[in-house]
Structure formats: structure tokens, C-alpha cells
Amino acid sequence: MSGQTFKYWDTGEFMRKAREAYPALYEKKYCSLARTVPGRDEWMRSGSSFILDFGTHIVGKLALEVECDNVPDSPLHVVFDFAEHTCEFDPRPYAGGLSSSWIQRETVYADNPLEAVKTSRRYAFRYVKITFPANTAYRVRYAGCVATGTTSADENAVSGLPSGTGEDVRKIDGVGLRTLKNCMQSVFEDGPKRDRRLWLGDLYLQAKTDLFTYKNTGLIKRCLYLFAALPHEDGCLSSAVFPEPMLKNQSWILHDYALFFAGVLRDLYEFEKDEKLVKELWPVAFRQAQIAAGAADGNGQVPVDMYFTDWCPGLDKTCAAQGTAVAMLNDTLFLSGIAGDGAAGDYLEKQIERLGARLLSLFDRESGLFVCPGGQISVHSQMWGALSGVIDRETQRTVLKNIAGRSDAVDTVTPYAKHYLAEALFRAGLRDEAEALVKSYWGGMVREGADCFPEIYVPSDPGASPYGDARINSYCHAWSCTASYFIRKYGIV
């Protein structure tokens, strides 16, 4: 789609701006040495292998050096198996639905084993299994291994935590920072192991966290411009952009994700107060609101199939989708003021009222909970009901306290969904409950040994996977990084 033919805004201009917004991609590199190494005296060949533990999650390339016990008279066959999590070394056949080509393996036949054997591609890993399959006439011994990581996050931009901060909170914050850093590449990626895609839902949470940590606003702008440059025909933004192999939008449309564009723009405005940027991107943000509100039925109910909400089997999204729409229409309304678009403001106020009234009709005063038409009670309904602002803060507190006592409710399964619960608790003024959630949920992952926050975490089901095989799960996932945002925004110590 070219800028000339798109009727809503100039996509070509936004593509140029995306390129200018953060031109110094990947300028930050870091090196890590393997912490645990095999015995120095072990000479290997014919299938020998060992596992290196780098002690921390890295996104980058690897260089292995070996010694040879004789002149290497044939190539050195080396297989590198990279893993974020040790479960990935499970040798059983892969059974997942996602493409097996994401499994991180590189096979090298090194013509010169006397030089460092380097991987050609970027991997996401903490562990590397290295195997020498060939029956070479010579044997090799481990001499050293260096990982060179890449990121567009600048660690020097991160402020220290207050001196009174507890060790548990420092650890959670460190894992959140690392998660975000390793997802920050040429765009905010969802996960550096798999997909490596710019999703609007992930961007919303990454940008929130970035503004309190690395403050790479250029990268946020680049991502906003990319979405603006690659809309669908009706002006609806795509749920994701492929930065590689060709810059292209994803065909899948999600209205919650499209609405988050306004959320990112509002957060960035509140950080930088850049009115010019808001005015420039205002047509894009407003169009998403028009599309989302326009899709609501006669009752003012938005179409639930157009909302992601969570990876949660059987979840009724009626309340949660409605709450998301109203919450983000409010952000769009805020932006209309900055953009000086009074007519749009009027339109948005009416839509907020119409969609809000529908949401309020789903609030059950007796139980003090949002209840879906079929009777389902879920955490998702309450948190989005609260965030929508259709009930006052006191009622928000009631709703959120009530759901905490309901073990029969459908619960969240992703750190993405858990983010909105924590945010709802903080905004409703339930600070103790919010802090306890951050410390128990994100802290739980840390206590279980996570070096980065994974895309899915169900404390009662460690092998949970939306893809049929936990080995393909992403163990460093953008939407899980917001623990650092909560710690820094709300001053958790």
C-alpha cells in the first residue's frame, strides 16, 4: 500500500519517519563468558558433548574456541543447541504447533577448527549444548566461548533503586530489566527466541516500562511510525508488524491492540510533552477509536472475537473486551484535547457513554462483580471493568477485593493479563494487594530461577504452553517485563 493511495494519512511519510526515529540500531553490544565450563582436560570427538551455562539470558551470537590434539586434517563438525530453559534439551520429538524452524540449532562444519567457530545467526539463550559428532582423526578440547549480545537498550540510562529497596524487589526488577533489554532490538520484539515480531499489545507494555527504565523514546517512535506506515485498507492498524524477512503488516486484526496505539502515544506524550508528535499521529489514533466503536452492536457491545485479552481457554470476553474498549477510548479522548480536535472529542465522549453504559449493565450489584451474559465470572472481567472507569474507585476496590475471594473464577494465565490486574489494583488504590501481586507472581518466577520473565506462567502448571509443547515457549517475553514498571512507577521497595 503506497502513501499516495491511502486516504486516511500519508503512510510513506510515516515509513520515512520510522527510519529516522531510531537510526542507530543495535549500537549497544555486550559480551558474556560462559560461567560453568567442562573439565579442561576432556578431549572430545565422536558424539561428545557438554553444556555451557552463561549464568544469564543473552540475545546474540556465539564464538567457540577449541584446542586440537593434532593437526585438524578434516573439518570440525559442531552442533550448537541453544536453550533459554533447560527443558529445551529434552530430546523427545517436537510436538508443538508452531514451526519447528524456531528451534534454536546451528550446525557448523568448520573448515578451520584453529579459528573461533562462530554462529551465523542470532539466538536467545542462557545455555548452549555443544556436540562434536564426527569421528575425526583428531580430538578437541574446550578452550573458551564468548557470547556477543545485541540490544538497543542503554543500561546507563537506568536509574538506581532507592537505598531501602529490598533484595527480593531488586531481583524482580533486574529480571524485568533484562527481559525488556533482550527484547529491544531493531524494534520492540515480543520475544527474541521466537516470532521476533513487533506486536502492538506487547509494545504498549514495553513502552510503559521503557519510559521508567531505558528511556529509548526513539525506538518507541520508530515502532509507532511503523504501525502507522503499515495499516490495513480501512485504516485499522495491524496487530503486529514483521520487521523481517520483509517489512510487512500481519493480516490478523485485533481491536484491543489497535486501540493500544493511543495508549502508547498518550504515555509517550506524558513523558516528553511532544504535542507535535501527537498532532502528527492523531489521525491514526482516532481512526482506531472510530473502527472499534463503529464495530459495536445496537447494544453498544463490541465484538469479542476482535479482542485478544489473554491465552485463556474458555474465557468469555464480553466484559473484558468492553472494558478495554472504554479504557482506550478514554486515552484517545485525552489525546483529542492535545490534538485540538473538538469534533472528535465530542464523538469520543458519546461513544464512551454508549459503550460504558453497556459495560455497566453487566455489573451485578448483588455479587459486586462484572458478570458475563452467560454467567461466567473471571478476573479479566473485573480488572478491565475497573480500568474502564465506568465504576468509581471505591466500587473498583470492591470488585477487585471480591474477585480475590472467588476461587471459582476464571483466572489469568499470562503475565500480560496479570499486568492489567496489577495496574487495576494500583489505580483503585489497593496498593498492598498490588505490591503483594507483583512480589508473589513476578517474584514467584524469580524464586523458581527465571533469569527473564516468560510469556506464560501458571504457578500450578509449570509445563503450560499455548502451542502444545513448552519447548517452543518464549522464556524471555516482552509483555512480562512490567514488574520493573510497577516497581519504579509505584515505588515498591
**Interface contacts to a second copy, rule CB under 8 A:** 71-77, 98-102, 105-107, 109, 111-115, 120-121, 133-137, 194-195, 197, 242, 244-246, 248, 251
Nearer to a second copy, 24 or 71 (CB): 71
- In terms of CB distance, is 111 or 155 closer to a second copy? 111
Q: Which is nearer to a second copy, 195 or 455 (CB)?
A: 195
What span, in angstroms and rounded, lies between the C-alpha atoms of 217 and 203? 12
CA atoms within 13 A on the CB side of 258: 30
CB of 124 to a second copy, least distance (A): 13
| Whole-angstrom distance, CA of residue 93 vs CA of residue 77 | 22
Minimum gap (Å) between residue 101 Cβ and a second copy: 4
* Shortest CB 459 distance to a second copy, Å: 30
Report, in Å, the least distance between residue 283 CB and a second copy: 27
Q: Minimal distance in Å, beta carbon 185 to a second copy?
A: 13
Minimum CB separation of residue 325 from a second copy in Å reads 28
Q: Rounded to the nearest whole angstrom, what is the least distance from the CB of residue 181 to a second copy in the complex? A: 21
Nearer to a second copy, 249 or 324 (CB): 249
Q: Are 60 and 122 in contact (CB under 8 A)?
A: yes
Closest CA to 229 of 450, 16, 410, 475: 16
> Which residue number, 193 or 255, has a Cβ lying nearer to a second copy?
193
C-alpha cell at 32: 558474556
Rounded to 10 degrees, what is the CA torsion of 277, 283, 288, 293?
130
All three cell numbers of 359: 459495560
Which residue, 68 or 404, is less far from a second copy as judged by CB? Answer: 68
> Nearer to a second copy by C-beta: 102 or 269?
102
Which is closer to a second copy, CB of 136 or CB of 206?
136
**205, 478 contact by CB (below 8 A):** yes
Burial (Cβ within 10 Å: 0-12, 13-18, ≥19) of residue 245: exposed
What is the spatial distance between Cα 319 and Cα 382, in angstroms, rounded to a whole number? Answer: 8
Say whether 197 sits in a helix, a strand or coil: coil
Q: How far apart are CA 394 and CA 70, in angstroms?
A: 77
Nearer to a second copy, 76 or 147 (CB): 76
* Least spacing, CB of residue 121 vs a second copy, in Å: 6
**Residue 47 C-beta: closest distance to a second copy, Å:** 10
Considering beta carbons, is residue 8 or 94 the nearer one to a second copy? 94
The type of residue at 76 is: L
Task: Name, in order, each residue with C-beta under 8 angstroms of 130's C-beta and a sequence gap of 6 or more.
Answer: 49, 50, 51, 52, 64, 78, 79, 80, 81, 142, 145
Q: Name the residue nearer to a second copy (CB basis): 294 or 468.
A: 468
**Taking the complex as a whole, how short is the minimal distance between the CB of residue 135 and a second copy, in angstroms?**
5
Q: Are 44 and 141 in contact (CB under 8 A)?
A: yes
State the minimum distance, in angstroms, from the CB of residue 114 to a second copy.
5
